[in-house]
Amino acid sequence: MADRNFRSILTGSFSTPCGDNPTVAMIEAAYRHAGIDARYINCDVKAENLAAAVAGAVAMEWVGFNCSLPHKVAVIKHLDELAQSARIIGAVNCVSIRDGRLIGNNTDGKGFLASLQSVTDPAGKRVLVLGAGGAARAIAVELGLAGAKHLTVTNRDPDKARTIAALVADNTPCGAEVMAWDGEISVAEGTDIVINATSIGLGDAQALPPIRLETLRRGMVVADVIPNPPMTHLLRKAGAQGCTVLDGLGMLVNQGVIGVELWLGRKLDSGVMQRTLQEIFGVSD
């Protein structure tokens, strides 16, 4: 009895609303599988309570937390240090706490990259990114840092695409340009990887980004960030045309793996996480 330890390692997430965030189920299943006595607490933190929540995590000696909307930029002023890509992206979604010091990371792009690397190495590749929101920004920066040769960013609002292209060109060795997205766009010949980083397809298995499907060619990798439903209309069409497809579940799972590695220095089982999410989303392999 004397040597039993009733104190769990504490991790979690700060966002609002938080009720539909399945990360807690995914990470706690992997903690259990690994026999780690740790908890992941999904906390609803309103914008005006972020400072108190961060101070609370430090006071209770949490080892780290994720933060999602609306805290990804606001949390930065509460941190002591930023990792390279988080600094370039200008947003943090994963904080580790070591000896009371708070270190900000961005795992959105890193999670995508880890998932992409399961099918191809982006180094030297030409990439088309659809969308220019937070996910696109993180993915674009990580691809640039991972040695992608050239990035084309296209977005309904072209100013946001210009901002991301400039960020990549200024901070990584990757060339970057903007393509207008008026009506249906064509994928240029020589493109190796196409990424849908818009929210088109979220919760809608029939939604399709306006793109000329015949320009998706055999041998291309077509990736989607949409986690639910994972097999989007775009991926179904691309797969039917001989492209290698990559769904958004892998990005979500790898973000979990990378976050826990930052907090605990332990690599959790991605298969357990993947199966937990598939069960929640009602999909099979």
**Catalytic residue flag (residue 237):** no
> 127 vs 135, which CB is nearer to ligand NDP?
135
Sole window of 9-17, 81-89, 119-127, 152-160 interacting with ligand NDP (rule: CB under 6 A): 152-160
Q: Any long-range contacts for 240-247 (C-beta under 8 Å, 24+ apart)?
A: 241/213, 241/214, 241/216, 241/217, 242/217, 242/218, 243/194, 243/216, 243/217, 243/218, 243/219, 244/119, 244/120, 244/219, 244/220, 245/221, 246/115, 246/116, 246/118, 246/119, 246/221, 246/222, 247/223
DSSP string, 212-252: -GGGS-TT-EEEE---SSSS-HHHHHHHHTT-EEE-HHHHH
**Phi/psi class of residue 216: alpha, beta or left (left: φ > 0; alpha: ψ in -120 to 50)?**
beta
According to the binding rule CB under 6 A, does residue 251 interact with ligand NDP?
yes
Catalytic residue among 72, 77, 125, 237: 72
In the list 33, 160, 162, 237, the residue contacting ligand NDP (rule: CB under 6 A) is: 160
According to the binding rule CB under 6 A, does residue 270 interact with ligand NDP?
no
In the list 156, 162, 217, 237, the residue contacting ligand NDP (rule: CB under 6 A) is: 156
In the list 64, 248, 256, 259, the residue contacting ligand NDP (rule: CB under 6 A) is: 248
> 202 vs 213, which CB is nearer to ligand NDP?
202
Contact mark string toward ligand NDP, 186..215, x via CB under 6 A:
------------xxx-x-------------
- CA 241 to chain centroid, in Å, comes to 26
Closest approach, Cβ 184 to ligand NDP, in A, equals: 12
> 61 vs 184, which CB is nearer to ligand NDP?
184
Annotation: binding site? 68, 93, 108, 131-135, 225, 248, 255
Neighbour-count burial for 168-195, b at 16+ CB within 10 Å, e otherwise = beebbebebebbebeeebebeeebbbbb
> 171 vs 199, which CB is nearer to ligand NDP?
199
Binding residues for ligand NDP, per CB under 6 A?
Answer: 108, 111, 131-136, 155-157, 160, 198-200, 202, 225-227, 248, 251-252, 255
